[in-house]
Amino acid sequence: MSEITAAAVKALRERTGAGMMDCKRALQEAGGDEEQAIDILRKSGAAKAAKRSHRDVSEGTVAIARDEATGAVAMVEVASETDFVARNDDFLAFANRAAETALAHAPTGEPRPGEELLDLPPEAPLGTELDDLRARIGENLALTRFVRFEPTPGGTLASYVHFGNRIGVLVELEGAGESTDLTALARDLAMHIAASRPAGISPDDIPEEERERERRVLIEQATAEGKPPEIAEKIVEGRMRKFYEQAALLWQPFVKDPDRKISDLLKEAGADVAVTRFARFDVTE
């Protein structure tokens, strides 16, 4: 068997990202053949990745792709085990390709599970690339979710990725506006949504189970305080308003100017200006 040099190990490590000792063992097993050693590392890495598939993925990144011709925007969330990997160049390149794939192939609508993208595009599926990336990086990775918005007639779409690429937002406005730049307003709203994490546009858009759960908790609190039923009901209604100010976008104070609510911004922009939809991804949630 030919001697395995440090230069050969270093070259294989640069090509695969595998550890030095793994590269040396693979070269020894392959008799110094670099291509065969790469195959050995891929098989070994895939086996290790399968064992890691149960591990939690609580870090990651959000990536956004935009079609300048149509105005469509896609957003994906890709998860990893560690923040270190979430900043890896290969990991980020995969996230960007996943966003481009969602932009080119996904339907417009609500957020969808990321696994629906793994067989796309047919000529170079994301799932194959993700398996290779797991093997090379040595962590459990997942394409967790994606969403694609295509602007409706007269709609204004904006996107925003928060510092560190851990939070991403898409938002759409409708209406012509009177004196306000709706593109700038939509971007301000995207930044606001990133910071304020609304559960819906209006109270009616907050899932009924969330509203009822909050109401039950508030009723129990008022009862524990010894309030008579008629007083407790008024207290609960007042506290529910506080809940809606936190959870409903239109009721929230604007992060850049807390004296104005989001509904005030929209009224100032024009009588027909409204938020039609938004999507918010946060890798910690």
Residues of the chain with pLDDT under 50: 46-47, 50-54
* Structure confidence by residue, pLDDT tens digits, 245-266: 889 999 999 999 999 999 999 9
| Whole-number pLDDT of residue 115 | 93
State residue 53's pLDDT score.
44
CA atoms within 13 A on the CB side of 252: 19
Q: Domain limits of the chain?
A: 6-52, 55-150
pLDDT value at position 50?
Answer: 45
Task: Tell me what pLDDT residue 98 has.
Answer: 98
pLDDT for residue 46: 46
What is the residue whose two structure tokens read 């170079």? 124
Quote the pLDDT of residue 55. 53
pLDDT digits over 25-54, tens only?
Answer: 888 888 888 888 888 877 766 445 544 444
Q: Which tens digit of pLDDT belongs to each residue from 235-245?
A: 888 888 888 88
Q: What is the pLDDT of residue 54?
A: 46
CATH superfamily of 6-52: Ubiquitin-associated (UBA) domain (1.10.8.10)
Residue 111: per-residue pLDDT: 96
CATH superfamily of 55-150: Elongation factor Ts, dimerisation domain (3.30.479.20)
